[in-house]
Amino acid sequence: MASICYNNGRRNPSTQYAEANDMSNDTLPQLSEREREILRLVATGATNQQIAAQLNISANTVKVHLRNIFGKIGVVSRTEATMYAVRNGIVEVAAVSSGNAAVLSESTMPPVDVSPISSRSESGKSTDKVTRSSPGQARWLLYAGIAGGAILAFAIIFGVLVLLQGSTPSTTQPTVVPSPQMFVSSPSPVWTAHPALPFAQRASAAISFEGRIFVIGGATDSGVTGSAWRYDPSTQTWAPLNAKPTPVRDIGAVVLNGKIYIPGGRLTDGSITNKLEVFDPALGSWSERRSLPAPRSAYALATVDGRLYLFGGWDGTKVCDDVFAYDPTTDTWEQRPAMPTARAYAGASVVDGNIYVIGGENQGQQLDINEQFSPAKSGDSAWSQRAALPEPRSRFGSSALSNLIFVLGGVPQDNPLYYDVRSDSWRAFEAPQTPLGEQPAVAVRDASLFVISGVLNQNNSPTHELRMLYTVVLPAQ
């Protein structure tokens, strides 16, 4: 069996890797960390829109990065880029026990070089001398052969997906297209515990930027807070930042042009604000932009093509159906077609340029509604109905990985669910050992979700990473 994994740079001691001696990472083109992030996502089959949504950048920015990446590594297609990533340890192939199953997963394994071995003289030139392989070398060659077969199979599968992606509308294409010769499992969850946020808080805003997780504002046992924290998964450390000038709860955050935008929220005295405050991670400072057209908290928030979209929420007197769009370039708000259903405490996630507004509540009654908003359309045609939640739910954390939208925590139930946009269906999956609670904060980093628990009355907020594992079984040769 061959495992194909995506590298975050941490070693898994239970897996052994073959090491080639004819290539060093020092000789590879210098890709930035952002370019490596994008290359890893390309290898998963993600579209430009999906990559943009997961990294909180515009689709045009993704195109620019891909053009630079292709130029640096000397490729002309996504398939070639994927194979380059496999060969050079950005996406890894690990040889394990014999069999015919290839396992694709977001992982934390170290890089592996699968370059061919050549015999070299002391001068460094290749020679044609034939030498007898030791048992260790023979095993290495066997593993390399298995790995090479897995790479070829992966390339064929990926090539088919790319061709299908080019000829099929993005709203209907499957993540993986099984053939009579291939079996693809349903995704399986992998939960990993991370160091907890040092303070217990919920109803916070969470967002990922340049590989780090930012958690801002929310509620603690002592009341509403403006505290801001940054978590670095590579060092597994939390660091305090300059607090938000206006402490608020029931908020969301998006990244636009390298800055974190947080609109509205509920103040310490229970009133609702219309302020739009912006955090600059590079400077560590806050500023204020044009206020919302009306006070709002407990809204759903998303970004598409460099614009912020805010859905519904609570204005202090009623649950709203308004939709506001904000353009950071012109610092202006505009009203978009209202939601068919007024609600607060819903979730909003982006897949293929469409925003899915899920669940929520109206005057205390939880809802199971799932409505799709298409920003490119106007009027009533901008909204359409999709498969409802298995049960009504509100006050949950939500985000998307590829074509799956996750609903985590919440009330009245908190069991994890995901919605498959391609099949328009819902599925429950295993929860972590620690409860996710009410209003957990969720952020996307690469192909993982980071979830900060919303359970209060304790000393900290447990933090988990969620990855989804797929298994592809190939026929025996």
Give the start-to-end residue ranges of the domains of the chain. 2-20+28-118+134-167, 192-466
pLDDT digits (tens, 9 = 90+) for 204-250: 999 999 999 999 999 998 999 999 999 999 999 999 999 999 999 99
3-state secondary structure 259-319: EEEEECCECCCCCECCCEEEEECCCCEEEEECCCCCCCECCEEEEECCEEEEEEEECCCCE
Counting every residue, how long is the chain? Answer: 477
Return the pLDDT at 455: 84
Asked if 209 and 54 count as a contact pair (C-beta separation under 8 A), the reply is no
> In this structure, what DSSP letter does residue 388 have?
P
Token pair recorded at residue 49: 């829109």
Asked if 396 and 407 count as a contact pair (C-beta separation under 8 A), the reply is yes
pLDDT > 70? residue 43:
yes
Average pLDDT over residues 325-342: 97
In whole angstroms, give the CA distance from residue 447 to residue 365.
33
pTM: 0.68
Percent of the chain scored above 70 by pLDDT? 73
Asked if 263 and 310 count as a contact pair (C-beta separation under 8 A), the reply is yes
pLDDT digits (tens, 9 = 90+) for 367-400: 999 999 999 999 989 999 999 999 999 999 999 9
CATH annotation of 2-20+28-118+134-167: 1.10.10.10
Coil, strand, or helix at residue 402?
coil
Give the other-Cβ count within 10 Å of 308's Cβ.
Answer: 22
pLDDT digits (tens, 9 = 90+) for 10-24: 333 333 333 333 334
Per-chain mean pLDDT for the chain: 80
Q: Which fold has domain 192-466?
A: Neuraminidase (2.120.10)
Token pair recorded at residue 271: 């009133």
Asked if 299 and 344 count as a contact pair (C-beta separation under 8 A), the reply is yes
Asked if 440 and 453 count as a contact pair (C-beta separation under 8 A), the reply is yes
List beta partners, residue 365.
Answer: 362
3-state secondary structure 54-117: HHCCCHHHHHHHHHHHHHHHCCCCHHHHHHHHHHCCCEEEEECCCCCEEEEEECCCCCCCCCCC
Asked if 215 and 205 count as a contact pair (C-beta separation under 8 A), the reply is yes
